[in-house]
Chain A
Amino acid sequence: MYDSGKVIIGLVIFFGFFTFAFWYNMGKAAPAPKPKLDTPVIKKMVKKQCIESTHFMRTTHMQLLNHLRDQALRQGNRWYTNKRGEKVWISLQNTCLKCHSNKKEFCDKCHNYVGVDPYCWDCHFDPNRSKL
């Protein structure tokens, strides 16, 4: 191979630059967010629990919200019976956000971390703010 010294040095420099982003950010992974649950309504609750178990809500809240939205809006059935047998009025602004009144600390924190932008907030808004 002609000019092997130059070629190899060039390749090393190229790969150095190419993988720069990985070197630079090594060991600096953003810590997983901890959504805050210290709203006045939740603090007052004797038994701190959501409409379903924490694990279920953490993994499946998107499907549940879609399902409840269709049930309430399209079938006109606004009562959800959860696995504990309790009845819950289906409403994002009037039920979910009543307890989770800290949208920024609760919803946005994780959504921003995983880079999702759910279109809920195009129409629904935090009812605890009287102005947009």
Chain B
Amino acid sequence: MKKLIAMMVIMMMVVSLAACGAEEETKTETKTEAKTETVDESEWEIVIVPKDATNPWFVRMNEGVEEYKKVSGLNIYQKGTPEIDATLQSQLIADLIASGVDAICVVPVDPASLEPVLKQAREAGIIVIAHEGASLENIDYDIEAFSNDAYGAFIMDNLAAAMGEEGVYTTMVGHVTNASHNEWADGGVAHQKANYPNMTLLEAEPRVESEDNGDVAYQTAKELLKKYSELKGIMGTSSYDSPGVARAIEELGLTGKVATAGTGLPAANAEILKSGAVNALTLWDPALAGQAMAAMAVKMLRGEEITDNCDLNVEGYRNLTFKPGSDKVFEGQGWIVINKENVDSFGF
């Protein structure tokens, strides 16, 4: 038995060695071809890696990516893991590096866990673009839909309006390690301190996690509301937070007494917007974010220079500016507000 396994291992090695030789040959061939002819853009392979494949947010992103693929005629596709899991995402990227793609655009589950694999990607000459991953180091560029502070302030304005500009509130993020969510929450809190003096942050639990999961958001909100009777508002960040919180508010009969504001998809939340459990949700369109990442990757593959005030020719991403103090993180102007009146007009 052991011999059989040993034989197979040897066979595998031989096969892989042979394959390696073959691969190197073809590589040198294509290199010489590339010198004589113009670059064949149809050979490019650009992959968008979302947090997972089944989350409606990334299903919408996939729609945008597919549309961009059609318009550009390039080989661009989205490939996600079946569930949100940092280890699975890292392995998917390792597999993509091994299959020699040209660009990887990623929305990280847990930015810290991706650093080693993204480092390998860049060492292999692959272009790495991120979205919602401002803290990442091993990337070419990160594209944010907007300045995180400004978006946080914007959510806070919505929450303050719903709370009548007074009372105790707290903030909810997907994971406390998610850079964007936390920057929104920080921006919201800073905005409140500057503009809404009658509101106060719940000191015992200023930031809670929903783990990017509606049920966890709901449970956490329920616990919070039972534990702290003075709590009057919860600022959500991930697309699961406010909808989950709204369910808890409705179930506890606190509609109108406790408010929430945050990110959310229109179709999934039409009911809670119309019932008044949530006043207004804010959003950027994941389809456009996916297109912006793909457009940036194409721009870099074409060898165009990337500068401040960069135009990706995608709505909301026509004037990307560097985040102050960074030469990697771009910010667009891609936010939208959804309320009772316009919720049915988005089509997703």
A, B assembled together: no
Q: Which residues of B contact A (CB under 8 A)?
A: none
Q: Which residues of A contact B (CB under 8 A)?
A: none
